[in-house]
């Protein structure tokens, strides 16, 4: 990585000590990205180094190929989400991606809109009991439960009562797993399984994994039982488009053999996590941005109220008729990308457009967060300005300067589902509530696989007069 010098590093810890989870970690990476405009080295201990990149041309070069995911950061998630679509590579990835793509067909997504709206309304009814103008409410947790409820219904035909239960062990386990996986990364001794699983954090990680797996096993078991019913099986066979879990359960290879239990659970764990935690982050940060900017919040509300016409029934057609809200959503995904970074391990040398290159075996991490705040491609990058995304202003943008869902063969398979869910939720929330920032409880950004806030997202929510 000689062509890419980096900030001074400690001889043993490298840069790991620079990351303290005090809310400045991501901003530090932005400062470095401005000092080293294309890429720089970053070390986690004496043996693990990444090339961090954040220039659109570099992002394009990295994501055009289907290089495998890196075998350090993603490996820490393996005991939890298994070798599913997010982590696997080669022929297995290709087969599973082809198998699962029809689960996100337009007709299927259309049928999900009502399910998402129902889940959102359950959450809003809860908020009515909590809302006062004076006191703020921590919303991230409520939103996580709502997005979990939605993905369970949509992808897994599992009708849970998770939003109304007093505590949900799966959501707590996911929070714990995200936190522990990112902590593990920063302590190089913990990179070794033998050491890690003897530490208190390793023990906590195993326990949280077991809790998460209990939840997914329950979902799989219930659907398998339902499919033993001839009528239910017939109903699915007649359906033109099956939902995600039914695709997995009914899939057969050329020899008539279905997915192994291990592969099945890995995919369910992957989609259960990716399908709710990312959108919970996206919706939470969007609400925070709108609370900070009442003028944009009001414009979105007017647009939505006109569509809804005094009702709370959300129609599929509305999704393509809410341009202002969509621009605000895109802008919040720019400032607060739910997945702030992705990384790869090169199987062959990678030559960047400026001729610089790194060898096979190198770990390359794209910081989506720094890319989205690169001042060479975004004017006044820290400012929330949804008008960046008007059709005219989008025309001359570098195609790889905005990548919340990544691009190329390993892009996000759930991006249309995610955009729909975030729009439905935003519309119904703004139709019922006014949002205001709680100045004494401002969020502390923390990347824990997804972008969270260390202290949650506290907003004052006030019910609107009818
Ligand atoms: C705002 C919401 C979301 C964002 C910002 C997001 C972002 C991303 C990004 C950046 C990647 C690339 C990861 C990498 O290269 O390692 C990805 C992959 C993936 N996403 Fe999403 N995602 C979101 C929602 C969802 C949803 C709702 C689902 C499922 C229903 C989902 C399922 C996946 C899967 C399975 C992959 C791996 C795809 C593959 O490698 O073939 N995501 N997502």
**Domain ranges, residue 371:** 16-463
Q: In what order do the strands lie in the sheet with 458-463?
A: 136-138, 458-463, 433-437
From the alpha carbon of 244, which atom of ligand 1 is closest? 30
CATH number for the domain that contains residue 419: 1.10.630.10
Q: What's the CA-to-centroid distance between 405 and ligand 1, angstroms? A: 6
Identify whether 9 is part of a domain.
no
Determine contact, residues 353/40, Cβ cutoff 8 Å.
no
Q: What's the CA-to-centroid distance between 104 and ligand 1, angstroms? A: 12
| DSSP category for residue 355 | S
Those residues with Cβ within 8 angstroms of residue 450's Cβ, 6 or more apart along the chain or in another chain: 178, 277, 278, 280, 281, 338, 339
Q: What's the CA-to-centroid distance between 401 and ligand 1, angstroms? A: 18
Residue 109: predicted pLDDT: 93
Measured by CA distance, the residue closest to atom 21 of ligand 1 is: 412
Q: Give the three-class secondary structure for 369.
A: helix
From the alpha carbon of 96, which atom of ligand 1 is closest? 41
Identify whether 1 is part of a domain.
no
Identify whether 182 is part of a domain.
yes
DSSP class per residue in 177-214: HHHHHHHHHH-GGGGSHHHHTTSHHHHHHHHHHHHHHH
242 phi/psi in degrees, rounded to 5? -90, 155
From the alpha carbon of 281, which atom of ligand 1 is closest? 1
Identify whether 418 is part of a domain.
yes
Identify whether 5 is part of a domain.
no
Residue 181: predicted pLDDT: 92
d(CA 454, CA 340): 15
Measured by CA distance, the residue closest to atom 17 of ligand 1 is: 412
d(CA 336, CA 285): 7
Residue 234: predicted pLDDT: 83
Identify whether 436 is part of a domain.
yes
Q: Residue 294 is inside which H or E element, if any?
A: helix 294-308
Residues flanking ligand 1, CB < 6 Å? 69, 85-86, 97, 270-271, 274-275, 278-279, 282, 338-339, 342, 404-406, 410, 412-414, 417-418
The answer to whether 209 is annotated as binding is no
d(CA 285, CA 265): 30
From the alpha carbon of 418, which atom of ligand 1 is closest? 27
Number of separate domains in the chain: 1
Residue 351: predicted pLDDT: 95
d(CA 206, CA 381): 40
Q: In what order do the strands lie in the sheet with 363-367?
A: 39-44, 48-53, 363-367, 341-345
Give average pLDDT by consecutive 10-residue segment, the chain, 466 residues. 92 88 88 95 93 97 93 93 95 92 90 96 95 86 95 91 85 91 90 96 97 93 88 78 85 81 94 95 98 98 96 95 98 98 96 95 97 97 97 92 97 97 98 96 94 96 89
Q: Give the three-class secondary structure for 44.
A: strand
Measured by CA distance, the residue closest to atom 39 of ligand 1 is: 410
Burial group, residue 2, by CB count within 10 angstroms (0-12, 13-18, 19+): exposed
Identify whether 391 is part of a domain.
yes
Here the tokens at position 454 are 């260390």
Give the residue, out of 62, 174, 278, 281, with the most ligand 1 atoms within 8 A of its beta carbon, to mutate for a pocket test: 278
Identify whether 121 is part of a domain.
yes
Q: What's the CA-to-centroid distance between 463 and ligand 1, angstroms? A: 33
């Amino acid at each position: 990585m000689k062509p890419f010098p980096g900030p001074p590093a400690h001889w043993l810890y490298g840069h790991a000590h620079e990351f303290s989870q005090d809310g400045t970690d991501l901003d530090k990476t932005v400062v470095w990205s401005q000092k080293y405009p294309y890429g720089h080295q970053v070390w986690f201990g004496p043996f693990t180094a990444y090339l961090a990149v954040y220039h659109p041309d570099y992002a394009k070069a990295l994501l055009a190929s289907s290089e495998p995911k890196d075998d350090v950061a993603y490996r820490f998630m393996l005991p939890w989400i298994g070798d599913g679509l997010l982590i696997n590579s080669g022929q297995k990835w290709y087969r599973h991606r082809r198998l699962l793509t029809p689960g996100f067909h337009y007709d299927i997504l259309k049928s999900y809109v009502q399910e998402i709206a129902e889940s959102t309304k359950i959450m809003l009814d809860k908020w009515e009991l909590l809302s006062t103008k004076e006191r703020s409410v921590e919303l991230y947790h409520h939103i996580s439960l709502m997005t979990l409820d939605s993905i369970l219904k949509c992808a897994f035909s599992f009708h849970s009562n998770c939003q109304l239960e007093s505590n949900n062990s799966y959501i707590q386990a996911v929070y714990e797993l995200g936190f522990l996986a990112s902590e593990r990364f920063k302590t190089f001794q913990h990179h070794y399984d033998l050491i890690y699983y003897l530490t208190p954090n390793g023990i906590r990680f195993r326990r949280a994994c077991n809790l998460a797996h209990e939840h997914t096993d329950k979902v799989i078991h219930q659907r398998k039982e339902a499919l033993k019913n001839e009528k239910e099986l017939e109903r699915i066979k007649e359906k033109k488009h099956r939902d995600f879990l039914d695709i997995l359960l009914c899939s057969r290879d050329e020899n008539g053999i279905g997915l192994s239990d291990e592969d099945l659970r890995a995919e369910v764990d992957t989609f259960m996590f990716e399908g709710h935690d990312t959108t919970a982050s996206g919706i939470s940060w969007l609400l925070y941005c709108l609370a900070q900017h009442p003028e944009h919040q009001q414009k979105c509300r007017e647009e939505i109220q006109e569509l809804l016409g005094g009702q709370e029934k959300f129609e599929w057609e509305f999704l393509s008729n809410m341009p202002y809200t969509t621009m605000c959503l895109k802008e919040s995904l720019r400032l607060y990308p739910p997945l702030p970074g992705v990384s790869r391990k090169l199987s062959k040398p990678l030559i960047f457009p400026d001729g610089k290159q790194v060898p096979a075996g190198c770990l390359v991490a794209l910081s989506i967060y720094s890319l989205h705040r690169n001042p060479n491609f975004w004017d006044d990058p820290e400012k929330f300005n949804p008008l960046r995304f008007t059709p005219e202003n989008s025309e001359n943008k570098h195609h790889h300067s905005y990548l919340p869902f990544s691009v190329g063969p390993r892009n996000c398979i759930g991006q249309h589902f995610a955009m729909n869910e975030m729009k439905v939720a935003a519309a119904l929330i703004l139709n019922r509530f006014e949002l205001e920032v709680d100045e004494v409880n401002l969020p502390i950004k923390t990347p824990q696989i997804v972008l969270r806030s260390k202290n949650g997202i506290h907003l004052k929510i006030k019910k609107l007069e009818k």
